[in-house]
Chain A
């Protein structure tokens, strides 16, 4: 199985998920070994996903949890 760059891009998300068949994985890795552009696309995509998963990227508003549970407590108390 020989893949071109567009084939690899179409599989890149499933490849990151580890959700490609062994034969396809082998073909993707064969392509990546010889195509520095696709290797850079994969590396940059993975890198960006690591950054957006980091707890520092998205923070809850200060006091969110306290306000949520106070509102919930009002509801619980009013229905008793």
Chain B
């Protein structure tokens, strides 16, 4: 779900940037109640950005609330050269990381410390064929939990970029702005995050054929889904 996809509301038809710009001007002129409308399209992304760092529902919700309050307080400092959505998400990321540091549970992980193979890359799970897992199978809690656990197992910097780009569907440019890193860094982390997900999940999902999700069958009468 993209940030833009949410961005209709009271000014439906305008682009998100124009909508946000108009709302911000009115809020700064004193119509503070409109801040509810400004953040509503992005509140889900704020939560999942915080959750990608904190990995705990209550902590992520607390961080999301604090993010929104800080954005209200500092709205006068927002500069229109960036999107409001990416500015908001960068506040959420900072808030979540600050809470981790405060809780003294920050694990120091960096792209350089992650175990590369001989050529500095990551190897996927090499399989000989793949049969598609249809979205319909997400009705199964077991599948949702497999996916959630796989993302949770990634080092934080990979998890954060994967959540922004592939869960919340921010663009590469927006993800870079929200994370305050270059687009090149986003692409590098994204490659590794995606290959790590494939390496973790492809064998697990393949092994579930006909088992855990076996009640789903495709129209061709396949052995699973």
Contacts and interface: CB of A to CB of B under 8 A. Distances in A.
Interface of A: 5-6, 9-10, 12-14, 16-17, 19, 36-37, 39-41, 43-45, 47-58, 60-61, 64-65, 67-69, 71-73, 75-76, 79-80
Interface of B: 1, 32-33, 35-36, 39-40, 43-44, 47-48, 51, 57, 61, 64-65, 68-69, 72, 119, 121-130, 132-133, 135, 138-139, 143-144, 147-148, 151, 162, 166-167, 169, 172, 187, 190-191, 194-195, 197-198, 201-202, 205
A57 B138 contact: yes
Given A41-B126, A58-B148, A13 B68 contact: no
Contacts, number: 143
B65 A67 contact: yes
A15 B28 CA distance: 43
Contact of A54 (B123, B138, B195): B138
Contacts of A43: 130, 132
Nearest to A65: B43
A6 B194 contact: no
Contact of A56 (B39, B138, B195): B138
Contact of A41 (B127, B132, B138): B127
Contacts of B36: 69, 72-73
A36 B191 contact: no
A9 B124 contact: yes
Contacts of B138: 51, 54, 56-57
